[in-house]
Structure 1
Amino acid sequence: MIERATERRLAGDWPGACAAAGFNVLIDLDAVRRDHGDTIADRLEADLRHLAPDLLRWHLGPLRCRRRFPLAFYPASWALIASTPGHPGDPQRVTLSFERLAWITRARRDDVLVLLRDRWDSRYTPDKLPRCGGLTRLPFFTALGERLPSDALGDDSPEGLVERAVMLDDAFDPAEAWALAGYSVVAQHARALSAFRPIHSTLDDSRRRVLSYLADIVWVPDAPWHPRRHPINGGFLEPPSPIEADPQSSLARIELRDRTLVLDGKQAVLVTSPTESEYDLPAIPRIPLDLANRPPELTALLRGHLQPADLHPLVHAALFPAGSWRPSPPALPSLPTSIGIRCDNETHVIAVRNGSFVPPHSLDRERTLAALGGEMQGCAAAIDGWRDPTIAVPREMATLRANFLRLFAEADTAAVESALDAGLDPHVRDERGRTLLHLLPWLTGTDDLLTRLVEAGLDPNAADDRGRPPLRLALEYGSPDLVQALLAAGANPRGQYTHRPDMIALLHSPTAEP
């Protein structure tokens, strides 16, 4: 997915890059230009051209449901928004839209990506190295990506000072770490500072980012307004005045559970009882924890959870500028080529071969008994239940089906194709009666897979247990390319509808004629 999305982005095809990364784009640049003018449209188009959707997905990890992430702000309180799915069972696709911030419920909104553009904007990925405390190399590593021995750490270079502070933090001596960074600590219990693990040298930059962010938020007088909390300081916003921030202010705060750390110039003051504090905490700009604490890439590398080759290529290039990225893709999950089923008090081995299951004996007797009112059992239940979710399958076959369908939830197109190459029957239905054609919106890069499934005999108009054909799910969750491919394969558009503006034209196109 990273390779496909990068190829399209470097070719200047940002919609193609988004499609390759599993993004749905609900943005019409011509409409934005008509409604908001050339200046805003040009800014939005530049942001979209430099959007690395695969990088954003890499940073988001498993998607939390119903989250809205503003990526960039524009005049009159409009923003480029990345939205996550509404339900865990929905395809794990990200939706891009151009919306007014006043229309978005604050409880579902997270503005951290406005402050951390290096997580999605290819123009800003070089910011990652200084955010980790490095100038010419990543602390604890060489510029090539090799881990430094312990006797080479902690010299007087900027990276060495970061290494010493990090080692003190990790040794549960946070007061010394802050003192090494030039901060005087005011805390009744200094060990309580161990919950805050920043790169101390980047805190001034983080404060500047927050103040710039505050200056970018403008609420217009005629916008719908309801009492809401300020995204940075937690107090209530008062319309319609813009939020004011003193660019010369030396105050900032970091919050973690019941603790607040106030940065007052070069003084770090730990506040555990806000009512007894001399500071007016809601009036102090808050540095989000994602911005204040160590970048997750550095933490994962230090703990051995990631190796340099596991990093996204843009992240690798930023953190190890002298190194070369050699990817180490994970091995494709392997599904069994045979399965043992308990049948007639014996264990029968069913072979997985050429897109079907091959039992060791005829199934006529079991099927006849079931037709006369008996319960389908043994090998017959295993094979027939694969294609019919109303038949209870033996535990071994249920495990195989669950493991295969999990590949769709993980959006692993290559693993799905590998399982079919190994001979797995493509006519499986899940517990909701959906075929593999129904589940294509969960994947990316499905053109070849769709053709393969149709050639294997899957019906593009087959209904699930709610009467929905594959086209209905594609219109709701999929990409325009998938909808066009299903229509070309014979999907009937009659009676179908969609609320998505990028799909409406497809249903009325000449290719959509039944």
Structure 2
Amino acid sequence: MSNPDAAGSAILDPIWATAHLEARRTGVPSTMVDAATGHRLAGDWRRACEAAAVDVRLDLTDVRERHGPDVCRQILADLRCFAPDLLRWHLPRSLPGGGPQKNLVLTLAEYPGAAALVVRTPAVHWAAGERLVLELAEPSPAGRRADRWRIVHHRYLWDADRSGEYAAIAVGPDAVVQAQDAGDFAAAWWLAGIDLHPGEGSRMMRHLRVNLPPLLDLRETVALRPGGGLAIVLQPRRKGPYASGVDAYVTSAMAAARLPVLPCPAWCRPLDHDLIRLGLASPMQLHPLVRQAFRGDPVAAADSVQIGCRGRAHRVRRENGRWTALDHDDRQDEAERFLIGLGAEAVGCHQVIAELEHAQVAEKERFAIVPRYRAALDGVMTWPEPDGVSFEGPGTFRAALSGQEINSWLMRRSRRNTKPLKGRSLPQRRKGAPLKPSYQGW
């Protein structure tokens, strides 16, 4: 796969990508991931949801009485593999600010009897922050907005047992991706085997992150609704027994109002793929379940790693902030470090430790500039800062932040507005309120 400079890709703005990644890291901190994962592996899905700031409004006893034991068992099986921190990682977010897009209903699974397991985001950011609500919807949510976030067939976004499918998503051959990076959307769609018929609003196509290969498998006419009043109608060719391919028509959202809506994950390029491909993020910066899905990533857990070293399975563990090789005695460890100091190439455990320590230092350096970055998002104009100091506020400088101060700031930032919601339902979006484009959310 091609690896162009991040600033040269038309489909992923590096400033937006950095802001989105920072919003993910603060909205899904490592403490939340570790706590939710521990409870999930222990079989306590309720406490896993609690650790990930998800309010559960689901009574399995009531479900059994109304839908029977079979449906109840299906729901319980889905809840036991539900990773709320993974779903929170993949949530579409609004920038600046970084909170989940408001008033969304994400359908996770559907069951007999017109019931569906759904997750709702708050209707207003200031009222509930980043808390989510898990409940059983009866009947299953319907409508264009609900269809956009129907992820029943994209379980890798929330199912821990199927998170590995995320890395296997086809993202197109090099020629198609290169054309998209260059902003030549017409050539990209043609190379992918789709005849694109431009129309009103085609100028937005240059920056649209469309994953083209899956669109060739469509069997019915559907519409993509990326936002901003734009719609793309996809119509499979059915003329003649040997006809194949898809025709795409760029039109307005109003003209495609009656057509079925293709869910965003079915057509939007997976964000983590492009972040790694363009060098905007390393696997160490991703969610652990996402990180494990990518081939070649040596990290298998937050604090413990099992790797192959000199033909054997060795373990590397983080203790007191440092990574150590558990299966090397002191004499072997000292000898290998001596050889590395003489210029020999690090292999096995020491190679992995070097990569992990480098990633850990990069993370601390990146988070040290978060206060200044937040001020830039708020529109505050700043000037170059002297060496050895960091930005704290408009026109204010201070000594560089220590590691303890950075961790303290991140903990306060990740816990904002996480009090449980009160009441039986979330507030609804004000009637007639405009919807902002959200096609970059996945």
How many Å apart are 1:333 and its aligned residue?
A: 6.7
Could you say which structure has the higher strand fraction? 2
The alpha-carbon distance between structure 1 residues 192 and 30, as it changes in their structure 2 partners (threshold 3 A), is closer
Which residue identity is paired with 1:179?
Answer: W
Superposed, which structure 2 residues align to 1:189-204 within 5 Å? 193-204=205-216
The alpha-carbon distance between structure 1 residues 200 and 22, as it changes in their structure 2 partners (threshold 3 A), is same
What SS is found at the alignment partner of 2:128?
Answer: coil
The alpha-carbon distance between structure 1 residues 408 and 500, as it changes in their structure 2 partners (threshold 3 A), is farther
Superposed, which structure 2 residues align to 1:26-425 within 5 Å? 26-60=57-91, 61=93, 62-87=99-124, 88-101=126-139, 111-133=149-171, 162-187=173-198, 193-205=205-217, 207=218, 249-256=219-226, 257-265=229-237, 266-272=245-251, 281=256, 284-320=259-295, 323-325=298-300, 330-331=363-364, 410-412=413-415
How many Å apart are 1:284 and its aligned residue?
A: 4.3
Deviations 1:277-313 (A, max 9, x none): xxx9556433234421211112322343322111111
Question: Are the aligned partners of 1:132 and 1:294 in contact in 2 as well (CA < 8 Å)?
Answer: no
How many Å apart are 1:71 and its aligned residue?
A: 1.4
Counterpart CA distance in 2 for 1:76 and 1:302 is: 43
The alpha-carbon distance between structure 1 residues 73 and 301, as it changes in their structure 2 partners (threshold 3 A), is same
Deviations 1:49-88 (A, max 9, x none): 1101110111125223333222111223211121223442
Which residue identity is paired with 1:118?
Answer: Y
Partner of 1:467: none
- Structure 2 gap ranges (5+): 1-31, 94-98, 238-244, 303-358, 371-395, 398-405, 426-442
Which residue identity is paired with 1:252?
Answer: V
Counterpart CA distance in 2 for 1:407 and 1:77 is: 42
The alpha-carbon distance between structure 1 residues 115 and 406, as it changes in their structure 2 partners (threshold 3 A), is farther
How many Å apart are 1:165 and its aligned residue?
A: 0.8
Question: Are the aligned partners of 1:172 and 1:191 in contact in 2 as well (CA < 8 Å)?
Answer: no
Counterpart CA distance in 2 for 1:273 and 1:84 is: 27
Partner of 1:5: 36
Over the aligned positions, Cα root-mean-square deviation in angstroms equals: 4.0
The alpha-carbon distance between structure 1 residues 178 and 84, as it changes in their structure 2 partners (threshold 3 A), is closer
Question: Are the aligned partners of 1:70 and 1:110 in contact in 2 as well (CA < 8 Å)?
Answer: no
Counterpart CA distance in 2 for 1:259 and 1:303 is: 27
What SS is found at the alignment partner of 1:177?
Answer: helix
Superposed, which structure 2 residues align to 1:352-501 within 5 Å? 410-412=413-415, 442=417, 477=420
Question: Are the aligned partners of 1:14 and 1:48 in contact in 2 as well (CA < 8 Å)?
Answer: yes
Which residue identity is paired with 1:410?
Answer: R
What SS is found at the alignment partner of 1:124?
Answer: helix
Deviations 1:84-116 (A, max 9, x none): 234424353222111213688976885333343
Counterpart CA distance in 2 for 1:117 and 1:168 is: 30
What SS is found at the alignment partner of 2:113?
Answer: helix
Counterpart CA distance in 2 for 1:92 and 1:192 is: 30
Larger radius of gyration: 1
The alpha-carbon distance between structure 1 residues 49 and 309, as it changes in their structure 2 partners (threshold 3 A), is same
Identity of aligned residues (%): 28
Which residue identity is paired with 2:263?
Answer: P
The alpha-carbon distance between structure 1 residues 409 and 64, as it changes in their structure 2 partners (threshold 3 A), is farther
Question: Are the aligned partners of 1:253 and 1:285 in contact in 2 as well (CA < 8 Å)?
Answer: yes
The alpha-carbon distance between structure 1 residues 307 and 173, as it changes in their structure 2 partners (threshold 3 A), is same
How many Å apart are 1:130 and its aligned residue?
A: 3.0
The alpha-carbon distance between structure 1 residues 333 and 26, as it changes in their structure 2 partners (threshold 3 A), is farther
- Structure 1 gap ranges (5+): 134-160, 208-248, 336-394, 397-402, 413-438, 444-473, 479-497, 502-514
Which residue identity is paired with 2:183?
Answer: F
What SS is found at the alignment partner of 1:306?
Answer: coil
Corresponding residue pairs, total = 285
Which residue identity is paired with 2:74?
Answer: R
Which residue identity is paired with 1:173?
Answer: D
Deviations 1:348-389 (A, max 9, x none): xxxxxxxxxxxxxxxxxxxxxxxxxxxxxxxxxxxxxxxxxx
What SS is found at the alignment partner of 1:25?
Answer: strand
Counterpart CA distance in 2 for 1:165 and 1:334 is: 36
Question: Are the aligned partners of 1:14 and 1:49 in contact in 2 as well (CA < 8 Å)?
Answer: yes
Of 180-189 and 41-50, deviating more is 180-189
